């Protein structure tokens, strides 16, 4: 249904403000949808595979989970710089999508050797690191400033449709393959979806090379963005909040253990959270454009605080926890980028997004490792209380940083 509304160049020549969102945003959303089917097929089975299958300890899992996200901070910056410097956002994003596709085949070759799996995941996340900032830059460059929340909302809705369908596809593949452990079949199907995502990008996404002022992007100028107090405040807030986020895998593992869920239902936890994300991303993006973006972001982290407290207590119905977790993502992921967009000059927008996302990724690396250790040393309730305490401290500080400093 989306194909018919996606015309290359629509956002260039048409009047984006008259549409709900630009065609290019829809095209990017479609690419993200297909790619996320691919990515979530793998990530939905990975924590269970690593911890329950390969018997990694929780602390080891924390290192794997955090390291491979945090380690991509540099590739994010590099991707952002190259995309701005040579205005090749589509190419850099395409490379990122391509790397992740190749990584799916790598998982096949890695077998059950933890080190090799780790390396392949690193390649996959590098691809994600490369593509995220150029993609978000293309979204902002294709949308009017007052519709950024909406544009990101629609994009993240399409994105999370893929994230919603991915685990279901993984379960369908496992069922069709006739064994709950046919990970190779999941990886191959995931690879096919990833290739389709790259192809859709090549076919339908338009780069925005023509409308930019002829100013050359450079690394000093990219980092010079941090001299702007408003953007610096946003980056600090993003890092602070990122440091309180412990990673989906942990949340799902805690729930799996708490309710003693059969292993095969593990991917369904991601489906539940993604359903909430999917339903809430567009309304919350629209709301953010109306009432202001920072209150929505802070509301999202309040939901995260509630999730940690519920996990610490060991109580709370599973759907409520997953719903709050999806709400957290819907209220923060795209909205934070919509907050950052207007603070960044067009020619350095990818670099700016990359800076924010790198900061978040590094903070996430630290928090995942620490959370894994805390879990192992003190158990789930104490570790979750510590995480909740961190959110409780970060919330007011971020509130001050975000409020007033951003439009």
Partner 1 sequence: MKWRILVALTATVVLAGAALGYVWFTRPAPATASTLSLAGPGLLVRSDGVLAVIGPDGTKRASNLRCARVYAAHGTGVCLREDVGAYQVTVLDADLKAKRSIPLNGLPNRARVSASGRMVSWTTFVTGDSYNGGQFATRSGILDARDGTLAGNLENFTVQEGRPNQDANFWGITFAADDNRFYATMSTGGHRYLMEGDFAARAMRQVKDNVECPSLSPDGTRIAYKKMLPDRTWRLTVLDLATLAETPLAETRSVDDQAAWLDGATIGYGVDKGVWAVPADGTGTPRLLAADAESPAAL
Binding to partner 1 (CB under 8 A) within 245-264 occurs at 257, 260, 262-264
Name the DSSP class of 9: T
Q: Name which of 377 and 397 has its Cβ closer to partner 1.
A: 377
d(CA 327, CA 300) in angstroms, rounded, equals: 6
Taking CB under 8 A as the rule, does residue 214 contact partner 1?
no
Which position among 61, 68, 97, 204 is part of the footprint of partner 1 (CB under 8 A)? 204
Choice between 185 and 346, CB closer to partner 1 = 185
Per CB under 8 A, does 177 bind partner 1? yes
Closer residue to partner 1, CB minimum distance, 111 or 319: 111
For partner 1, the closer of residues 67 and 346 by Cβ is 67
Asked if residue 180 binds partner 1 (CB under 8 A), the reply is yes
Distance of closest approach, residue 265 Cβ to partner 1, in angstroms? 9
* Pick 57 or 407: Cβ nearer partner 1: 57
| # residues near partner 1 by CB under 8 A | 45
Residues 279-298 that bind partner 1 (CB under 8 A): none
In contact, 289 and 148? CB cutoff 8 Å = yes
Cβ closest to partner 1, residue 10 vs residue 239: 10
- Binder to partner 1 among 1, 13, 178, 214 (CB under 8 A)? 178
> For residue 65, with 0-12 CB atoms within 10 Å meaning exposed, 13-18 middle and 19 or more buried, which class applies?
buried
CB of 42 to partner 1, least distance (A): 13
Rounded to a whole number of angstroms, the minimum distance from the CB of residue 64 to partner 1 is 13
Q: Give CA–CA dist 153/293, Å, rounded.
A: 12
Report helix, strand or coil for 374: helix
Residue among 88, 114, 258, 395 that touches partner 1 (CB under 8 A): 114
Q: Are 211 and 137 in contact (CB under 8 A)?
A: no
**Interface with partner 1, residue 385, by CB under 8 A:** no
> Is 382 near partner 1 (CB under 8 A)?
no
* Dist CA 16 CA 141 (whole Å): 11
- What DSSP letter does each residue of 162-225 carry, written as one string? HHHHHHHHHHHHHHHHTSTT-HHHHHHHHHHHHHHHHHHHHHHPPP--SSS-S----HHHHHHG
174/312 with CB nearer partner 1: 174
Distance (Å, whole) CA 201 – CA 6: 12
Q: Among 3, 145, 291, 400, indicate the residue that binds partner 1 (CB under 8 A).
A: 3
DSSP at 391 = H
Q: How far apart are CA 162 and CA 177, in angstroms?
A: 21
Residue 102 and residue 97: Cα distance in Å, rounded?
A: 9
Q: How far is the CB of 60 from partner 1 (least distance, A)?
A: 10
With beta carbons less than 8 A apart as the criterion, state whether 342 and 225 touch. no
Tell me the per-residue interface mask from 181 to 200 with partner 1, x by CB under 8 A, - otherwise: xxxxx--xx-xxx-xx--xx
Q: Which of residues 320-379 bind partner 1 (CB under 8 A)?
A: 376-377
Residues 33-72 that bind partner 1 (CB under 8 A): 49, 51-58
Residue entry with tokens 């996404």: 205
Name the DSSP letter for residue 342.
G
Residue numbers 145-174 binding partner 1 by CB under 8 A:
173
17, 145, 203, 219: which one contacts partner 1 (CB under 8 A)?
A: 203
CB of 12 or CB of 184, closer to partner 1? 184
Report the C-alpha gap between 36 and 38 in whole angstroms. 5
Could you give the CA distance from residue 333 to residue 316 in angstroms, rounded to a whole number?
Answer: 25
Nearer to partner 1, 183 or 329 (CB): 183
Asked if 249 and 270 count as a contact pair (C-beta separation under 8 A), the reply is no
Would you tell me which residues interact with partner 1 (CB under 8 A)?
3, 7-8, 49, 51-58, 111-114, 173, 176-185, 188-189, 191-193, 195-196, 199-200, 203-204, 257, 260, 262-264, 376-377
């Amino acid at each position: 249904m989306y194909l018919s509304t996606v015309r290359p160049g629509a956002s260039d020549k048409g009047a984006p403000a008259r549409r709900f969102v630009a065609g290019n945003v829809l095209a990017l959303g479609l690419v993200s949808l297909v790619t996320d089917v691919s990515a979530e097929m793998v990530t939905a089975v990975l924590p269970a595979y690593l911890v329950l299958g390969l018997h990694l300890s929780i602390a080891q899992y924390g290192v794997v989970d955090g390291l491979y996200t945090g380690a991509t901070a540099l590739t994010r910056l590099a991707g952002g710089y190259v995309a701005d410097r040579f205005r090749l956002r589509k190419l850099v994003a395409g490379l990122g999508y391509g790397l992740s596709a190749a990584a799916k085949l790598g998982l096949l070759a890695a077998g059950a050797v933890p080190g090799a799996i780790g390396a392949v995941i690193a390649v996959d996340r590098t691809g994600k690191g490369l593509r995220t900032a150029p993609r978000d830059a293309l979204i902002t460059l294709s949308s009017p400033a007052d519709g950024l929340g909406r544009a990101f909302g629609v994009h993240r809705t399409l994105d999370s449709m893929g994230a919603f369908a991915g685990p279901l596809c993984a379960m369908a593949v496992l069922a069709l393959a006739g064994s709950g452990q046919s990970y190779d079949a999941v990886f191959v199907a995931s690879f096919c979806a990833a290739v389709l995502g790259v192809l859709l990008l090549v076919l339908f996404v338009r780069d925005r090379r023509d409308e930019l002022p002829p100013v050359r992007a450079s690394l000093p100028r990219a980092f010079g963005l941090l001299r702007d107090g408003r953007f610096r405040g946003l980056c600090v807030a993003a890092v602070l909040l990122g440091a309180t986020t412990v990673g989906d895998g942990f949340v799902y593992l805690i729930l799996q253990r708490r309710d003693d869920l059969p292993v095969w239902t593990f991917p369904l936890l991601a489906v539940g959270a993604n359903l909430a994300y999917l339903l809430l991303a567009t309304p919350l993006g629209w709301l953010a454009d109306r009432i202001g973006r920072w209150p929505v972001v802070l509301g999202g982290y309040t939901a995260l605080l509630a999730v940690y407290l519920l996990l610490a207590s060991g109580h709370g119905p599973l759907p409520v926890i997953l719903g709050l977790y999806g709400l957290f993502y819907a209220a923060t992921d795209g909205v934070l980028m919509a907050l950052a967009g207007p603070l960044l000059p067009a020619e350095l927008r990818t670099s700016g997004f990359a800076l924010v996302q790198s900061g978040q990724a590094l903070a996430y690396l630290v928090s995942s490792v620490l959370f894994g250790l805390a879990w192992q040393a003190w158990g789930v309730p104490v570790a979750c209380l510590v995480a909740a305490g961190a959110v409780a401290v970060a919330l007011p500080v971020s509130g001050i940083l975000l409020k007033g400093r951003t439009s």
